[in-house]
Every structure is written in C-alpha cells, then in structure tokens.
A and B are shown apart, each in its own frame.
Chain A
C-alpha cells in the first residue's frame, strides 16, 4: 500500500536508533531549576512570586497576560532564590524564576481533577489554559487558543501529530508506546472540546510499534491511526493536514480554515493530565541524544532543568561539544551553553562534536533545482534567497517568501551549501518590518 504523504520533502538519515529503544527514564531534580516566564508564543507570563518565597509544586509563579498566553507553574517545591534574566533557549537572557528544590516535592493544595464527561467544553478549555498547556511539538502555541475557533470556522476533524519527522528525536515515539492511555484519553477529551466526530492520528511508518499500539488503543473510539510515509517535514502542520485529509490550508491561513485543528501527541497527554488529574504542565518527555552525549536517553524532564543536568544524567558529554541544539537537527535552535533550561517546548537536546557538523564554504548556485524539487511549500527557495540577499524585498515577497515554512529542506539539499532558508528567513523579517511600517 502506498503511504499517504505530501508532495516535496526529503528524508535525512533519521538516526533514531540511538534512543528509539530506550524506555523513558525520569530525570532526577537538579540542584536548581530555572523556569523562564516566556515558554510559549504570545505574551510572557507575569511574575507573581518574590525572591525568598517558598513555592509548592504546581503553584502558579507567573500569570497569563492576555488571551494568547498561559500561566507558568513551579515544577517542584522549594525556595525562590532569584528572579533575574537567565540564558534562555531563544539565545537571549530572559526573566526567569530560579528555584532551589527542598526535596519534598509537595504539591500545592487544591489540585484535583474531574471526569471530562461531566465538564462542559468551556470548562475543559479553562482547565487546559490554567494548566499552561502549549503545543509540545516545539511551536509552543497556547493550546486553548487553537481549541477556541471562531464560530464561522466549523471544525470537523481533529488531527493528532505523532509524526516526529525530525531525525534523532524519539520522545513522541516513546510517549505513544509507553503512555498510550494518557495520549488516548487526551485525544478523547480534545474531541469533546471541539465537538468533532472525527480524529486522525498521523504517525510516520518508521515507528511500526507505535502505530500498532496506538491502532489497538484507538479501535472503536472514532479515532483513526494513519501510517504516513517517512518524509521530512511530514510533521509540519500544513503538510500533515494535506497528507491526512487531502486539504491544502490556504496561504496565510490556519488549519481551522479547512476545518481542522492539529495537536501534538505530547499535548494530548498533557491535556489528559490537566483535565482528569488537575495537573499543570510542569514536565515533559525529551530526547537527549547525538554523538556528543555518552548514553542517549528519553527522559521525563521537569520544566526548568538546565541542559547540563540532563546531559549529566545521560552519562555526561562524550568529547567537547561543538554544537548544542535544542530540538531536532532540521529546525532546532543552537544554544550558547548548556546552562539553558529545558522548557515546555523542549522536544530534545542534540549534541554534535567538531567534525560532525557541516561547515563548508558556500559556492555559487549551480541552478540544479534540488531546492525547488524538495520544497514542501512549492516555492523557489534559490530565487527567493537571491532576492532576499539583494534586499529586493518586494520580489522576495512576490515569489512566496511568506509561504516558507522554514523546514530547511532546501539548505539541507543544496550542493553549493548555500544558506537558503536563512536568507529566506531574513527576507520574511524584512517583509514583516515593511508591513508594520506601512
């Protein structure tokens, strides 16, 4: 049978065997947790504790500021030792609450769950918002916002993203295998919130065990598990929707424009915890892997754990790291140091050593057309990049720069090793700046 997919894309060697068979381990608490107030797209949370306060596990330490925002919670009980800018995954130093765990790990009072069947969709949405749930595939968009579509955009399908198409990462894979019930419960709750009859779980065919377990679990629940071709970026929202439903999200539009809401499997699991048990999002599964770490592992990680601590729990560094990446190798962001903490959006930490990262001089474009062949947005990366580098912003826009999903396929495949997606990203920035001015 031909597996469903989207046109374009490619698949780099997936290197998942490093950690795919490693059962999830719980990473112990570090000596210090650094919890950034900005862990989601949208307005950062607003601080509501002070230095010296004793906080409990699950206690709100930052309140949501606006609709596209969620509260931030303490990941354990302990003392707030500092509130100051600390290294953040974005590369900047951003306000963070530093907590020294007291080792008791005592929950804040009043944590209680409810049977989702007895809750109204609005009540469930509120649970999800209050728990601070964001898109856990890495985009960290507040989940309740996606679950509140305007009335003129009826939703008919819930798409669950279990694709995990980034090489090296296996966190979602392990989650589906080991915590199937949480994921399934989350999907059922999400269906209820949206009032949809139809849910589809997309999983890349390179995770046959996860497909099998999920298919069994979903049988008879109005949830369809669909194996998808192994192709990057199959997990990109619009590509996933096209593969599963055959619908193309219009340029500049959102999944809701074609009646679809997409949530990641990790998000679904977090939704289950939030509604059924009343738990805020204070931990997640992340893969620590790459040639630069001694024992690659899948870890249950408290939000705020510095990467150093994660690496230590994985047997420490193997050699000197030359590149530290938070996320996958295709879309992850390089880090200045291991002092950065894991956040709600951290799907993995990847370490490369000298010689394991491509560093080649860029040559002239030989017009081979590979970037055009692989582009899942069906734009012409080389042309747009050339315009962007010449600051011909209007031309870059006309050729579809804003439709670029920044998957990096073009740069990955370019024989001239041109930084195509980087140039397009620059062009997008310039286009947005121009729009703001007008």
Chain B
C-alpha cells in the first residue's frame, strides 16, 4: 500500500444529493411553465427568459469577480434566479428593464449579503418589486396571449386579477366574465406575467419537486390552504364582491409563488412547523392585499414580508428535542 489513505470522521457515505443538483431540479420543474410562456407569448417571452437568465449569471460572475470571490455560477442558483425573475415579468418587458432586474436580483438581492445561502429575501422577488416600483407602467402592461401560429398580433390586456380589482372598485361587483368557467386560466390562456399564467404547467413542476423531495408539502399546502380558506370566507360572505377560492388559486402568481418562490430554501424556515406558519402568513397577506390592498396582486409582497420574519419563525419553532419529556409516571 504505497498510496495515501483518506482519514476522515464518520459518516463515510453521502446521499449524493448536492446543491447544484437541487438547483437543477428546480430549473427542470420550471421548464413546463417556460414552454407554456413561449407558446402563448411567443418570441418576446423567450427573449425575456434568455435576458434574465444570462443577465443573472453574468451579474453573479461580475459581482464575485469584483469581490474577489471564487466563481460559483456553476451551482445553478443564479440561472434559477434569472428564470424565476423572467417568469415574474410581463412578456412585453423591455430588454433593459429585464437586465436591470437581473442586476438588482443578484447584486442587491443576493451578493451584498454574501451570496448563496445568506440572502434573507428571495432575490427574484426583490428585483420584481424594485422594478414594479421603478417602472410601474412597463411592469403593468400585459399582453393578451397569442398562441404560436395563431397569427394574432400582441394586444394589451388586463390580467384577470387586475380586471377584477378595477371592476370591484368601480361597480362594487365582480363582472360575470370573471366567474368561470376557468379552463383558460388552467391552461394559461390569459394575460399575466410569463410564468404565472398556466396552472397546469406549475402544478406539473410543483408535483415533480414534491416527488423528487426537493421541497416538502408544508409550504405549498399551508399557503394554498390558507388562501382557499381565508379567501373563501370572504366569498361566502359576499360572493358578488369577493372572488371564489378557485379564482384565487388559478389567477395571478399564487401557484408560482406557493410552489417555487415561497419554498425557496434559503429564505424560508427550516423546520416543518416553521414552514407551516410561513405558508399561513403568506396566504393571509396575499388575500389581504388582493382584496383590500392597492395592488391587484399580493403574492410577491406576501412572500417578501414573510421572508423578513423567517429568522423569527425559526427561533420560535425549534423542534422539541429528543429526551425532553416528563418522566413516565
């Protein structure tokens, strides 16, 4: 035995699951939503996806270079942030806005805190909110879907949530057109940001993540459940003024948020009970903003607000340690 032996402390085997595999799995899970976006919004959507993804990777490389840190763009986390950011933007986003968003996501949302694992807020959502405040017109100009090959030109349109908000503000009533059937909302044939339109694609990706055990059920179930129950409560009280649970679920960024944004590991609680609490908070804030806030949609703000209390949640949901029981009587 001439060779050097490895000495290390146990365990000597590993699951093989690594950070880059986790990131890649989330990217795969988002591919159906990306495909649907390109189908309904055409090359414009593809452009936004590419600019954001490449923009985020480039921003990460530049930041790490400037900070004198080893490049980690290969871990896939920057690309994932780019895809998530693109999915949160309208297909009509100008290229410069997508690029600014990418730079903000990585530089302000992630690297200033020390990079992957240290950012308190979801970087893609930080960027989205910065863009929403800075460029309100571009960020709320939506394009009606025009499936590939249909020959329809892009026309602007309101999102179902926006339409509802306006109608309720003006007339106090939800228009009949927004009361179902919701087939189009399920497939993604509606106006909205790239990745939020197709419930079918998002559910497919979400179930993949659950099956692959990348995420656990806690956050999606408590988030969606809270929206259904809390939103449904208002609907039961006044169905003319408040939308039903299914409308809440299928429109806006709820599914995207519940499966892909709120579950961001870095910014969500670490314990099962914490995750349940986190999802509950997200659901509550989402419904409050949607029904009573100034914005038609509340998912981004809800998740960011809950990101802010994640350390607090972690603190108060520490697991009950083994062996801390009353002695058997």
Q: Chain A contacts of B75 at CB under 8 A?
A: 363
Nearest-CB residue, chain B, relative to A335 = B5
Contact yes or no, B265 A252, CB < 8 A: no
- Name A257's contact: one of B115, B318, B327 (CB within 8 Å): B327
Contact yes or no, A373 B272, CB < 8 A: yes
Contact yes or no, A411 B11, CB < 8 A: yes
In the bound complex, what is the Cα–Cα distance between A358 and B11 (angstroms)? 10
Within the complex, the shortest CB–CB distance from B71 to chain A, in Å, comes to 13
Within the complex, the shortest CB–CB distance from B123 to chain A, in Å, comes to 13
Contact yes or no, A377 B322, CB < 8 A: yes
In the bound complex, what is the Cα–Cα distance between A45 and B231 (angstroms)? 72
Report which residue of B13, B19, B72, B272 has the largest number of chain A beta carbons within 10 angstroms of its beta carbon. B13
Q: Chain A contacts of B270 at CB under 8 A?
A: 367, 369, 372, 380, 382-383
A248 within 8 A of B: yes
In the bound complex, what is the Cα–Cα distance between A368 and B214 (angstroms)? 9
- Name B11's contact: one of A247, A368, A412 (CB within 8 Å): A412
Q: Chain B contacts of A408 at CB under 8 A?
A: 10-11
Contact yes or no, B324 A329, CB < 8 A: no
Q: Chain B contacts of A419 at CB under 8 A?
A: 9
Contact yes or no, A337 B328, CB < 8 A: no
Contact yes or no, B265 A331, CB < 8 A: no
A102 within 8 A of B: no
Contact yes or no, A337 B1, CB < 8 A: yes
Nearest-CB residue, chain A, relative to B325 = A248
Contact yes or no, B13 A334, CB < 8 A: no
B7 within 8 A of A: yes
B212 within 8 A of A: no
A46 within 8 A of B: no
- Name A330's contact: one of B11, B118, B267 (CB within 8 Å): B11
Contact yes or no, B115 A364, CB < 8 A: yes
Chain B, 194-250, CB within 8 A of any chain A CB:
216
- A to B contact number (C-beta, < 8 Å): 170
Contact yes or no, A325 B5, CB < 8 A: no
Contact yes or no, B11 A365, CB < 8 A: no
Contact yes or no, A252 B323, CB < 8 A: yes
B117 within 8 A of A: yes
A438 within 8 A of B: no
Nearest-CB residue, chain A, relative to B265 = A368
Within the complex, the shortest CB–CB distance from B303 to chain A, in Å, comes to 15
In the bound complex, what is the Cα–Cα distance between A358 and B15 (angstroms)? 9
Contact yes or no, B11 A363, CB < 8 A: no
Contact yes or no, B19 A416, CB < 8 A: yes
B22 within 8 A of A: yes
With A360-B18, A363-B19 in contact, is A334–B6 under 8 Å at CB?
Answer: yes
Contact yes or no, A363 B321, CB < 8 A: no
* Residues 1-45 of chain B, each 1 if its beta carbon lies under 8 Å from chain A, else 0: 101011111111111111101100000000000000000000000
B319 within 8 A of A: yes
Q: Which of A17-25, A110-118, A169-177, A316-324 lines the interface with chain B?
A: A316-324
Q: Chain B contacts of A42 at CB under 8 A?
A: none
Within the complex, the shortest CB–CB distance from A167 to chain B, in Å, comes to 7
In the bound complex, what is the Cα–Cα distance between A257 and B318 (angstroms)? 25
With A251-B321, A377-B322, A380-B270 in contact, is A415–B117 under 8 Å at CB?
Answer: no
In the bound complex, what is the Cα–Cα distance between A327 and B12 (angstroms)? 11
Contact yes or no, A330 B1, CB < 8 A: no
Contact yes or no, B321 A379, CB < 8 A: yes
In the bound complex, what is the Cα–Cα distance between A372 and B273 (angstroms)? 11
Q: Chain A contacts of B116 at CB under 8 A?
A: 363-364, 366
B271 within 8 A of A: yes
A192 within 8 A of B: no
* Residues 387-406 of chain A, each 1 if its beta carbon lies under 8 Å from chain B, else 0: 00000000000011001001
By secondary structure, the A interface counts as loop
In the bound complex, what is the Cα–Cα distance between A363 and B69 (angstroms)? 13
Contact yes or no, A250 B265, CB < 8 A: no
- Name B265's contact: one of A12, A259, A329, A366 (CB within 8 Å): A366
A141 within 8 A of B: no
Q: Chain A contacts of B5 at CB under 8 A?
A: 321-324, 334-337
Report which residue of B19, B21, B118, B269 has the largest number of chain A beta carbons within 10 angstroms of its beta carbon. B19
Q: Chain B contacts of A406 at CB under 8 A?
A: 10
Within the complex, the shortest CB–CB distance from A89 to chain B, in Å, comes to 13
Q: Chain A contacts of B324 at CB under 8 A?
A: 250-251
* Residues 263-280 of chain B, each 1 if its beta carbon lies under 8 Å from chain A, else 0: 001111111100100000
Contact yes or no, A357 B320, CB < 8 A: no
Q: Chain B contacts of A412 at CB under 8 A?
A: 11, 13-15
A300 within 8 A of B: no
A422 within 8 A of B: yes
In the bound complex, what is the Cα–Cα distance between A269 and B8 (angstroms)? 32
Contact yes or no, A364 B10, CB < 8 A: no
A294 within 8 A of B: no
In the bound complex, what is the Cα–Cα distance between A259 and B11 (angstroms)? 31
Q: Chain B contacts of A252 at CB under 8 A?
A: 323
Contact yes or no, B321 A403, CB < 8 A: yes
* Residues 65-79 of chain B, each 1 if its beta carbon lies under 8 Å from chain A, else 0: 000000010010000
Within the complex, the shortest CB–CB distance from B149 to chain A, in Å, comes to 41
Q: List 25 A-B contacts (CB under 8 A).
A: A247-B328, A251-B321, A251-B323, A252-B323, A324-B5, A330-B10, A331-B11, A337-B1, A358-B16, A363-B72, A363-B75, A364-B116, A366-B116, A368-B22, A369-B275, A379-B322, A399-B318, A403-B321, A403-B323, A408-B10, A415-B21, A415-B22, A417-B18, A421-B9, A425-B9
Q: Which residues of B contact A (CB under 8 A)?
A: 1, 3, 5-19, 21-22, 72, 75, 114-118, 216, 265-272, 275, 318-325, 327-328
Q: Which residues of A contact B (CB under 8 A)?
A: 10, 12, 91, 167, 238, 247-253, 257-259, 320-325, 327, 329-338, 350, 352, 354, 357-360, 363-370, 372-373, 375-380, 382-383, 399-400, 403, 406, 408, 411-413, 415-417, 419, 421-422, 425
What 8 pairs between A and B have smallest CB-CB spacing? A408-B11, A364-B117, A251-B323, A358-B14, A369-B270, A378-B319, A368-B265, A329-B13
Using A258-B327, A357-B12, A415-B18 as known contacts, list a sample of 10 further A-B pairs with CB atoms less than 8 Å apart, ordered by residue number in A.
Answer: A12-B13, A250-B323, A252-B323, A257-B327, A327-B10, A365-B117, A375-B319, A378-B321, A383-B270, A415-B22
